[in-house]
Amino acid sequence: MPGRTACLLAFLLGWSSPFTEAADAPPDTVEIVASKRTFAPETVTLRLGRPAILIIRNEDEDLHAFVPLLLFQRTNVQVRGNGAPEFNETGFARVLIPPHGKAELRFIPKTSGTFFYICDLPGHNMRAEIVVQ
Ligand SMILES: [Cu+2]
């Protein structure tokens, strides 16, 4: 039973996969503020494979949407706060955040790169980026 021996050896030596270790790590918490129809900061950075909590606060009197482009494809996202999340066949699609509301997204980034997100409400033209490295 070589597989079993290898498992036992790994256990005895305290090995674990880097991904498992990272998934157990305390989450990276990042806050984005929507104010005066602008997302700030323009760029936030998350680490690949590390649990992340993305908090989006709406400080305006307007409703805003947080619409990630590609970042959450095939990624499990837990949504908290008082926003209204929407899902489609690829998973999390967007969350509408009421005036002075907050949405909190918990997930583990699975792909590195630069991912834009927008507010797709008419005339808002709000865009910023999330870098996963
Ligand atoms: Cu908006």
What is the C-alpha radius of gyration for the chain, rounded to an integer number of angstroms? 18
Asked whether residue 124 carries a pLDDT value surpassing 90, the answer given is yes
What domains can be seen in the chain, in order of their start residue? 23-132 (2.60.40.420)
36 Cα to the center of ligand 1, angstroms: 9
Nearest 5°: CA angle at 38, between 133 and 89? 60
62 Cα to the center of ligand 1, angstroms: 7
- For residues 104 and 54, the answer to whether their CB atoms sit within 8 Å is yes
Burial environment of residue 120 by CB neighbours within 10 A (0 to 12, 13 to 18, 19 or more): middle
- For residues 52 and 109, the answer to whether their CB atoms sit within 8 Å is yes
User: What's the pLDDT score for residue 8?
Assistant: 46
- Least Cα distance to 90 among 120, 70, 118 occurs for 70
Specify the higher pLDDT residue, 39 or 25: 39
Please state whether the predicted TM-score (pTM) of the whole model is above 0.85: no
What percent of the chain is predicted at pLDDT more than 70?
Answer: 83
User: What's the pLDDT score for residue 23?
Assistant: 65
116 Cα to the center of ligand 1, angstroms: 14
Would you state the structure tokens that stand for residue 93, as one six-digit string?
A: 């699609």
Report residue 90's pLDDT band, with 50, 70 and 90 as the boundaries: confident
120 Cα to the center of ligand 1, angstroms: 7
Query: What does the pLDDT average to over 101-112?
Result: 96
CA atoms within 13 A on the CB side of 90: 8
Query: What does the pLDDT average to over 28-57?
Result: 97
